[in-house]
Amino acid sequence: MKKLMMIVLAIGLTFGGFAQQTFSSITKEKTLNSEIKKHNAEKGMVIPQITSKSSKHFSLKSAGCTITGLNAFEESAGNFKATYTLTLNEGTSYYSWTAETSSLEGLTDEDLKQSVYDELAYYKELYAMFGLEFDESWFWMTEAGEMEITSLKGNTDYTLVVMCVASDDTVIVKEAFQTPSSEINGTAEMELVEVENISETNAYLEVKKNDQTVNYTILFDALSVFEEYKLTDEESVKEYLSTTAVTKLTEDTIWQLGNDTLTHQYALTPNTDYVIYVVPYNGNSEIGNIVRLTFKTLSSQQSGVAEMETFEVKDITSSNAYLEVKKGENAAFYRLLLAETDTLIAYHMDNADSVAEYLNTNTRVYNYTQDTIWALGDDDISSQYALKSSTSYTIWLIAYNGNKEQGKVYNKEFTTNEASKKGVAKATVSVDCSTPVLDFDIKVNDQTEFFKFYCDYVDTLQNIIDNNAEFIDYTLEDMAVYEINYFESGYSWLSLSYKDNTSLNEVWSKGWMYSYVETAIEWAEGDKLIAVAVPYNGLGQAGEISSLIFEVGGVGLKDVQQGVIISVYPNPATDYIQIIGLKGMQKVEIFNTSGQIVYSKDAMANGLRVNVNNFAQGTYFVKVTANGKVVTKQIIVK
């Protein structure tokens, strides 16, 4: 079904909230929300848009709620809004949703409860996947008072389901209701559906609906796709729509078909037959007169054998090389593959046929259209910031004509120069954390070719360590380095590498998700963070890792003594201190200024929490001993 999904999601990708997003402009929360919306849509769960005009908050004690007044409806442009009053017993939290009554047939209250707990489990798993802890208070609602349910269809049976949860009980409360018939109940039809200005790779679809049409759906793809899935007449389209969630559009407009509006691609294919179905709905969601339209894109003028006029590697250094390319007369675009020669051999991609199969079928391969000079070690093509020295690389290039027909295949092998920086790379991390806008500064030595940098919450990494047996012996620094390697190896678009030692404030703020943020993002006062820099020499060998644990609005709390990295926070402390960086069996002792031991423990953990609220106010010394190495930290208890 992967191609069939394209037909409906071609619209949903742009207008339904499922659009593919880059990490240059989103946060972890936004990423999670988009995944959650997608999950809900796939499950068929309808989450109503609920607003509260008055609210009251309770603690969790006993279950129960009452729904009254669910009989007032307001119609706007064919959609209905319902209002009701929700009264909660004191201490009740709840989760609610609205669904068409027919979709609940055969489901018991226990089934409904389980579906909610499944949803909660999904959220927890999703957050854990991103190293975050899911707060259940985000899931359970406590607002009561006058509520609204929006985006309801006319003349439809619905059920409002409220799952009330308390410490001693969980109950399901259901309220069935029917929306009135919409006043927009005539025959929905499109007054205008017309394709104009057809070219080789583009076309324009103009649509206009009549006054009985509330919204409409567009199905659009190549004729061959519709035939493959037997969507060849109105009945098959209606059957498909009855089982598939689609986005409904409301505006009269002109869609540019080959410019990422409906097809989610940047060009149609030349000399190809396409089909458009436009399905209108009235206010009661009744399908009106379906319009079917076909058109064919023009043949490309670039129809001969595609080839490159220039394909040359020059200016090779130990960590970079430059590829100059220029298309020939019949070449519309080209595809590239760059990798170490040994890697291509290992994957049996060392001949024209195997490379062509990969480049012709891999959906992640880009179509390049520009004549340019690629800096191969500067993230242009290789998704890395430096090539390895004294290493053989191979570049493959395939040219394509305007009809997307494969032309000539090119390849070129080159070897980078020997590196001049062969010593131990070193880096130090410092940060101005006096304000929530952080200013990182990385200093590297003369043997450092590039470095990788990472910053994230201490608690985020500690939770990963605590909840995964494979990381039980990891320090926070170990975990940060692991995260760098994990995300760089698993996400080809992501790079945590930097070549210079300038401030990272403008390109880094909240950990790996934010590596492409162009403006500073503020942390919250009191956030406890860890920053790690891993330097590499010209041979690509990792050097001495530098890390820093600090508190926003405070000072750095990490010291490195005899190879043991220990962090203690908060400092000053009132109730407790957290000792981070313990690895293996270590002895932890706390002394007062008189030299008396006030606390002693043999710790086998990555983090140790010590209660200090019974300590007298004053200065103390935390001494950690491991494998004959000693670290002493001074703290103040207030």
Top mean pLDDT of 290-294, 480-484, 552-556 is at 290-294
Question: In angstroms, rounded to a whole number, what is the distance separating the alpha carbons of residues 80 and 78?
Answer: 7
Q: Rounded to the nearest 10 degrees, what angle do helices 458-467 and 476-490 cross at?
A: 90
Higher-confidence position of 465 and 395? 395
The pTM for the full model equals 0.45
CA-to-CA separations, 308 to 63, 152, 417, in angstroms, rounded: 72, 57, 27
The model's pLDDT over 141-182, given as tens digits with 9 standing for 90+, comes to 888 899 999 888 888 899 999 999 887 678 899 999 999 998
The model's pLDDT over 101-110, given as tens digits with 9 standing for 90+, comes to 988 888 899 9
Phi/psi region, residue 77 (left: phi>0; alpha: psi -120 to 50; beta: rest), is: left
| 557-638 fold | Immunoglobulin-like (2.60.40)
Looking at the predicted structure, is the pLDDT value of residue 637 above 80?
yes
215-222/273-281 β-pairing: antiparallel
- In three-state secondary structure terms, 233 is coil
The confidence band for 361, taking pLDDT boundaries of 50, 70 and 90, is confident
Query: Do the domains at 422-556 and 557-638 have one common CATH topology?
Result: yes
Top mean pLDDT of 61-65, 167-171, 420-424, 558-562 is at 420-424
Question: Over pLDDT 70: what percentage of the chain?
Answer: 76
Q: Are 356 and 335 in contact (CB under 8 A)?
A: no
Q: Rounded to the nearest 10 degrees, what angle do helices 109-129 and 28-43 cross at?
A: 150
The model's pLDDT over 431-452, given as tens digits with 9 standing for 90+, comes to 877 777 777 888 888 888 888 8
The confidence band for 23, taking pLDDT boundaries of 50, 70 and 90, is very low
Please spell the DSSP secondary structure of 592-617, one letter per residue. Answer: ETTS-EEEEEEEESSEEEEE-TTSPS
| 44-178 fold | S-adenosyl-L-methionine-dependent methyltransferases (2.20.130)
The confidence band for 324, taking pLDDT boundaries of 50, 70 and 90, is very high
Tokens of 628: 């004959």
422-556: CATH architecture: Sandwich (2.60)
- In three-state secondary structure terms, 477 is helix
Q: Are 21 and 31 in contact (CB under 8 A)?
A: yes
Q: Can you identify the CATH homologous superfamily of domain 308-415?
A: Immunoglobulins (2.60.40.10)
* Closest to 269 (Cα-Cα) out of 254, 256, 258: 258
Question: In angstroms, rounded to a whole number, what is the distance separating the alpha carbons of residues 140 and 133?
Answer: 15
User: Cis ω on the peptide bond leading into residue 280 (within 30° of 0)?
Assistant: no
CA-to-CA separations, 471 to 129, 478, 548, in angstroms, rounded: 15, 9, 20
Question: In angstroms, rounded to a whole number, what is the distance separating the alpha carbons of residues 479 and 485?
Answer: 10
Looking at the predicted structure, is the pLDDT value of residue 518 above 70?
no
Domain boundaries, the chain: 44-178, 308-415, 422-556, 557-638
CA end-to-end span of the chain: 64
